[in-house]
């Protein structure tokens, strides 16, 4: 009798375990199905018409946007591109744009996102992208160290999608966020507003000058080394020109963003003015080898650069400057060519080396 009771208890225990596992699997499937269906990060599909999506997380949503949205052209880059407006780009260039910026994104990260777009069988007409000076002299495989990268979203491995579809933070954060956004009567974030930070900051000399201090001792002049030249060229070839060579059907509108005179103030104090300009020249000479890249620089627009009303800090300009940049590129103003780039380099070298930086602090 005792043996029968033990067998009965063991059987009940096994049944309980099986039922518990089945229940857990069903719960997991339900949770996963909700996230897969709504897909707040656009990993599987574009936004569903019945829902309204908050688009507010660049590194989690940009990959899905580039792969699954319908578009003809792309705006991408660092925070220097976050204030661009799709509606203006559409009107000026006569194309249907998306905007997928990566705040603080290094050259490789931005290039990898573009490669994912092409791998999704997109026929891309234009790419608008910036090249930050501060990220030019670095290893070609560098990623932003302080950014969180959900690499499970950036590959085609279905198995690691469990990190997305069975992620409690995603379910109760982003997935639930779409439902709340929809119930609140809000609209899906448009590409004019996505990542745009303009209204969150003050602009002007008082604001900009408060964002930095100079070392009391001026540093010795830094020389652009051959190792650094090699680093720049490897960075450019892997993360810029390689894509242009592979896609001659696309016109790439690339530009060096116009950092303010205060950025150059810091460079001058650190002995890095010519060092930075030499790096830019190396990049320009490599980029200009490719006929489907149109390269621009606005650093010789000294009226813009020296007017601190355009800036919130040393580098970041207001959205009106982004609007000007679109118009300038479309009209081929500030276009660098094989015939004029040496004059451009000479002009900025003379200006930024001779500027009276002490006047900024009076």
Give the percent of the chain with pLDDT over 70: 92
Inside any domain, residue 12: no
Q: What is the pLDDT at residue 147?
A: 80
Q: Within 10 Å of residue 39's Cβ, how many Cβ atoms?
A: 23
In angstroms, the first-to-last Cα distance of the chain is 99
Residue 125: Cβ-neighbour burial (10 angstroms; 0-12, 13-18, 19+): middle
Q: What is the pLDDT at residue 3?
A: 56
Average pLDDT estimate for 327-349: 98
Inside any domain, residue 52: no
User: How sure is the predictor about 302, in pLDDT bands with cuts at 50, 70 and 90?
Assistant: very high
Q: What is the pLDDT at residue 20?
A: 63
CATH code for position 254: 3.40.50.1110
Inside any domain, residue 30: no
Inside any domain, residue 190: no
| Position 224 pLDDT exceeds 80 | yes
Please name every residue paired with 100 in a beta bridge, in sequence order, or none if there are none: 76
pTM of structure: 0.92
Name the residue range of residue 98's domain. 73-158+195-361
Residue 41 makes CB contacts below 8 A (sequence gap 6+) with: 57, 60, 61, 64, 153, 164, 170, 174
Q: What is the pLDDT at residue 148?
A: 82
Which one has a higher pLDDT value, 209 or 3? Answer: 209
Inside any domain, residue 166: no
Asked whether the CA dihedral 195, 200, 204, 206 is positive or negative, the reply is negative
How many domains, the chain?
Answer: 1
| Position 280 pLDDT exceeds 60 | yes
| C-alpha gyration radius of the chain | 25
Q: What is the pLDDT at residue 235?
A: 98
Inside any domain, residue 314: yes
Q: Helix or strand or coil: residue 52?
A: coil
Asked whether the CA dihedral 40, 42, 47, 53 is positive or negative, the reply is positive
Inside any domain, residue 245: yes
| Position 7 pLDDT exceeds 90 | no
According to DSSP, the β-strands at 251-256 and 293-297 are parallel
Q: What is the pLDDT at residue 53?
A: 98
Q: Give per-residue pLDDT as tens, 128-179.
A: 999 998 899 999 999 988 888 898 998 888 888 989 998 989 999 999 999 9
Residue burial 147-162, b: 16+ Cβ < 10 Å; e: rest = eeebeebbeeeeeebe
Cβ distance 258 to 299 under 8 Å? Answer: yes
Q: What is the pLDDT at residue 24?
A: 57
| Position 19 pLDDT exceeds 80 | no
Cα distances (Å, whole numbers) of residue 288 to 211, 230, 234, 285: 35, 17, 15, 5
Q: What is the pLDDT at residue 192?
A: 98
Q: What is the pLDDT at residue 6?
A: 57
Inside any domain, residue 257: yes
């Amino acid at each position: 009798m005792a043996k029968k009771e033990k067998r009965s208890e063991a059987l009940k225990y096994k049944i309980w375990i099986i039922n518990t596992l089945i229940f857990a699997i069903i719960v997991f499937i339900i949770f996963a199905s909700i996230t897969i269906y709504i897909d707040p990060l656009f990993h599987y599909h574009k936004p569903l018409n019945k829902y309204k999506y908050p688009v507010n997380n660049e590194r989690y949503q940009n990959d899905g946007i580039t792969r699954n949205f319908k578009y003809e052209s792309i705006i991408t880059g660092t925070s220097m591109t976050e204030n661009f407006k799709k509606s203006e780009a559409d009107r000026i260039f006569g194309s249907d744009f998306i905007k997928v910026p990566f705040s603080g994104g290094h050259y490789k990260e931005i290039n990898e996102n573009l490669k994912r777009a092409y791998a999704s069988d997109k026929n891309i007409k234009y790419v608008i992208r910036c090249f930050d000076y501060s990220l030019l002299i670095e290893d070609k495989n560098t990623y932003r160290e302080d950014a969180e990268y959900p690499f499970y979203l950036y590959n085609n491995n279905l198995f690691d999608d469990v990190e997305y579809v069975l992620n409690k933070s995603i379910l109760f954060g982003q997935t639930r966020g779409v439902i709340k956004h929809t119930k609140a009567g809000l609209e899906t974030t448009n590409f004019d507003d996505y990542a745009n930070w303009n209204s969150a900051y003050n602009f002007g000399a008082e604001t900009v000058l408060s964002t930095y201090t100079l070392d009391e001792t001026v540093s010795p002049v830094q020389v652009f080394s051959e190792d650094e030249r090699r680093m720049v060229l490897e960075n450019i070839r892997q993360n810029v020109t390689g894509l242009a060579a592979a896609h001659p059907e696309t016109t790439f509108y690339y530009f060096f963003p116009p950092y303010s005179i205060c950025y150059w103030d810091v460079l001058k104090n650190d002995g890095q003015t010519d060092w930075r300009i030499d790096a830019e020249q190396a990049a320009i000479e490599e980029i200009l080898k490719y006929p489907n890249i149109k390269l621009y620089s606005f650093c010789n627009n000294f009226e813009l650069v020296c007017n601190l009303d355009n800036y919130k800090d040393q580098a970041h300009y207001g959205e009106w400057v982004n609007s000007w940049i679109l118009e300038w590129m479309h009209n081929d103003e500030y276009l660098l060519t094989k015939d004029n780039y040496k004059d451009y380099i000479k002009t900025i070298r003379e200006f930024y080396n001779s500027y009276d930086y002490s006047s900024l602090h009076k």
